[in-house]
Amino acid sequence: MPDGEGVQLTAIQAHLAAHPDIEYIWYDYSCMAQKESEEVDGRSAADKQEFGLMLAAIADLYLTSNVLILLDGAYSSRFWTLMEAWCSMMATTAEGVCAATEGQTRYTISTIHTANEHHKKALLELVGSNTPSQMHDVLAKPDIQLTNAKDKKVMLPVVKKTNEHVKQIFARAV
């Protein structure tokens, strides 16, 4: 989402100042060329190709990276934020994904705007221990919003098959 007031930027800067060991950051809205709207797509052919490649790999990024969740009041109504949060709350194993234990967590939640501890608890309850099938069902609900409806059609099967995908990756690594 655009950050017109700089609230997200300020939260990211504070997190980076507190964690000087962080070398790289992924800021989705800035790192992937986005459509202006469902009807307006001013991206170049190369931007569209890069977006398609990244879309295919985005679940892997969030399943393996440390994630700073900038939790606002609307966070739990948006497809991509919920998917990113869920992935970051999972642990990957040879048997698939499972809820990360305390020592395995890879996410930090920072509340912004009107969000508070209640929102944190609600997010953890909504996605923190879901299986891929349960998360698929959460994300498939009609009130879960995203700018590009086609992303939902592409990503819902990816979410549902997360266990199988992770098992395949582990099998190839052995």
Let me know: does 141 contact 126? Beta carbons within 8 Å: no
In a domain, 11, yes or no: yes
pTM: 0.89
- Is 134 buried (19+), middle (13-18) or exposed (0-12) by CB count in 10 A? middle
CA–CA separation, 129 vs 86, rounded Å?
A: 8
User: pLDDT, tens digit, for every residue of 101-138?
Assistant: 989 999 999 999 999 999 999 999 999 999 999 999 99
In a domain, 2, yes or no: no
Per DSSP, what are the bridge partners of residue 78? 145
Domain count, the chain: 1
User: pLDDT, tens digit, for every residue of 18-46?
Assistant: 999 999 888 776 677 777 777 888 888 99
Range of 90's domain? 7-173
Among 27-36, 43-52, 67-76, the range with the most confident prediction by mean pLDDT is 67-76
In a domain, 56, yes or no: yes
Mean pLDDT of the chain, nearest integer: 91
Do strands 90-93 and 96-99 pair parallel, antiparallel, or not at all (unpaired)?
antiparallel
Q: What is the amino acid identity at position 156?
A: L
Task: Check pLDDT > 80 for residue 58.
Answer: yes
Task: Check pLDDT > 90 for residue 163.
Answer: yes
What pLDDT shows up at residue 2? 67
Instruction: pLDDT band for 67, please (50, 70, 90 cuts).
Output: very high
What is the per-residue DSSP string for 85-151? HHHHTEEEETTEEEEPPGGG--EEEEE-TT--HHHHHHHHHHHTT--HHHHHHHHHSTTSB-S-HHH
In a domain, 127, yes or no: yes
In a domain, 147, yes or no: yes
